[in-house]
Amino acid sequence: MDHFWWDQGEWRGTAFDAIENVMDPFHTNELHHGFIRRRDRRLPVTLTVENFDRGIEMTIVQSEPDKGIMSRMLEGDRTRSRTRYDAPAGVQALWESDRGLTLCVTAFFTPVTKYSFRPFACFTTPRRLLPASVKKWGLKAFLLPVVRQDRSALAAQADVVASFGTTRYAQGPGDLLGNRVHKLYRGGTLPPGITDRVAVEL
């Protein structure tokens, strides 16, 4: 495998909101419209959620890559993606095709102050024809606009929370994980097992 680490410096926002953002696949259609997924051309997928004692994993099975430009240019095909949260600060996302692993991102979200955190991520790809340095700069170039969108959304969210002084989270119909991520983040545990398997459009 080829690996590279990407230190993103300090972001405005909370580590918890950043983790919750990564664990929510539905934000990609809206916030990253055109880059990752599209809000106007959704794909039928099967979405499975599994609890672990101190973690939670979401698996998305689909028959073709996402409709955004990143997936269309970087992925040949796609059968499965998995996003796993290991409390309190680790998230690992894997994209897989019939040939095996396409990309794995292992990220750590370290709280710095009440309204800032530091994301630090390792990018892993299977060693094939492209040199590691080309993949590194290619991935960074493609991801930069997506990273900027998340960064500004999390900063805006932090500004709202700071102006109210507290959080009062609401759950919509797409929030399959409900408050489970929050419970894990605060030190709680979950009863292990598969809790959801649903057909949705993403």
Instruction: Report helix, strand or coil for 52.
Output: strand
Contact status: 17 vs Fe ion (CB under 5 A)? no
Residue nearest to Fe ion (CB): 150
Q: How far apart are CA 154 and CA 22, in angstroms?
A: 11
> DSSP secondary structure string, 113-165?
ETTEEEEEEEEEE---SS-HHHHHHHHHHHHHHHHHHHHHHHHHHHHHHHHHT
Residue 36 CB, shortest distance to Fe ion, in Å, is 7
- Rounded CA-CA distance 118/109 in Å is 6
Buried b (16+ CB within 10 A) or exposed e, 138-163: ebeebbeebbebbbebbeebbeebee
**By the rule CB under 5 A, 66 interacts with Fe ion:** no
Give the nearer residue to Fe ion in terms of CB position, either 66 or 150.
150
The minimum distance between CB 24 and Fe ion, in angstroms, equals 8
Chain positions 131 to 170 lying near Fe ion, rule: CB under 5 A, are 150
**Nearest Cα residue to 103 out of 68, 69, 128, 67:** 128
Query: What's the min distance (Å) between Cβ of 147 and Fe ion?
Result: 8
Residue 2 or residue 75: which is nearer to Fe ion going by CB? 75
If the CB atoms of residues 17 and 150 are measured against Fe ion, the closer one turns out to be 150
What's the closest the beta carbon of residue 84 comes to Fe ion, in angstroms?
Answer: 16
Report the b/e string of 19-55 with b at 16+ CB within 10 A: bbbbbbbbbbbebbeebbbbeeeebebebbbbbbeeb
Task: Closer to Fe ion by CB, 96 or 150: give it.
Answer: 150
CB of 1 to Fe ion, least distance (A): 24
Site map (CB under 5 A) of Fe ion, residues 97-136, x = contact: ----------------------------------------
Of the pair 32, 51, the CB lying nearest Fe ion is at 32
Q: If you search the block for the tokens 């990253």, which residue do you land on?
A: 32
35 or 185, CB closer to Fe ion? 35
CB of 28 to Fe ion, least distance (A): 6
Residues in touch with Fe ion (CB under 5 A): 150
